[in-house]
Amino acid sequence: MDGDHVLLYLDQRRTFLVKVEAGKTFHTHKGFIKFDDIIRKEYGSTVLSSTGVRFTVLRPLLRDYIMKAVRRTQITYPKDIALIIIFSGIGPGSQVAEAGTGTGALTTALAHFVRPNGRVYSYEVRGEFLETAEKNLKRAGLMEYVELKNKDITAGIDETGLDAVILDMATPWLVVPHAYKALKPCGTLVSFSPTIDQTVKTVEALKENGFIDIETVECLMRGMQIERGKTRPQTLMTAHTGYITSARKALEPVSEKEA
């Protein structure tokens, strides 16, 4: 386990994604943990901190990498990432362009699912993010499936024949004509935007640029407190992250009215 990343799990609100290094320690508010105590263990085992608090040593899942990658920029929640993946139709082998990279949370998910023979071309105009994104992708072991590009995607997409273009950026509508050229026929565009106004502009651009099957949804996820005799939804929830718009490239678009 030496050199691997593990998720130290105290409870659902307190988890730590750390790299195990022989001879070193990890400090928490519940005392420190010696990595040498972990290296000898199997995944799923527990370890005691210096103050006697028990942590479970978990192998990180995709969603752990996603949640821990989120920092400094607007959060794309796992629920939204999940829907973006499904709406895009991608899977192992897909060629995908994405913008903006941000801290690489969505990039991580895309790379995870296009493995082993697909590729993610991730555009980010703000150079300072790319270093963080690269660190997060390397931590998840997914950097080899990604090409990080310090470029403005509103100026054009270098690739062609893409399966999907995924947008989580301020002005997705400016990318729509470029996406049409970059996509193979029937390729998908999926865009995530927090505001109504961004969504309206994006849908208009899609209609004007040869896309069909245009659909916008929002998704509300609510946690449940499950306990016999006391079961109830949780008290607080995220009320909004963003609207997800998806569409497919047609070659000879028909107006919905003609149909």
Q: Which residues in 135-174 contact a copy of itself (CB under 8 A)?
A: none
Of 113 and 123, the one with the shorter C-beta distance to a copy of itself is 113
Of the residues 5, 68, 112, 139, which one makes contact with a copy of itself according to CB under 8 A:
112
Q: Footprint of a copy of itself on residues 49-108 (CB under 8 A)?
A: 53-54, 56, 58-59, 61-63, 78-79, 81-83, 85-87, 89, 91-93
Of 56 and 132, the one with the shorter C-beta distance to a copy of itself is 56
Q: Footprint of a copy of itself on residues 26-55 (CB under 8 A)?
A: 42-46, 53-54
Residues 75/80/86/91 CA torsion (nearest 10 deg): 20
Q: Footprint of a copy of itself on residues 204-243 (CB under 8 A)?
A: 204, 212-213, 215-224, 226-240, 243
Amino acid of residue 40: R
Is there a contact between 92 and 114 (Cβ–Cβ < 8 Å)?
Answer: yes
Rounded distance, CA 145 to CA 161, Å? Answer: 17
Q: Tell me the number of residues near a copy of itself by CB under 8 A.
A: 86
Output the CA–CA distances (angstroms, integers) from residue 229 to 222, 226, 232, in the order listed. Answer: 19, 9, 9
**Beta carbon of residue 194, minimum distance to a copy of itself (angstroms, whole number):** 5
Q: Give the residue from 141, 203, 153, 146 showing the smallest Cα distance to 179.
A: 153
Of 30 and 135, the one with the shorter C-beta distance to a copy of itself is 30
Is there a contact between 171 and 115 (Cβ–Cβ < 8 Å)?
Answer: no
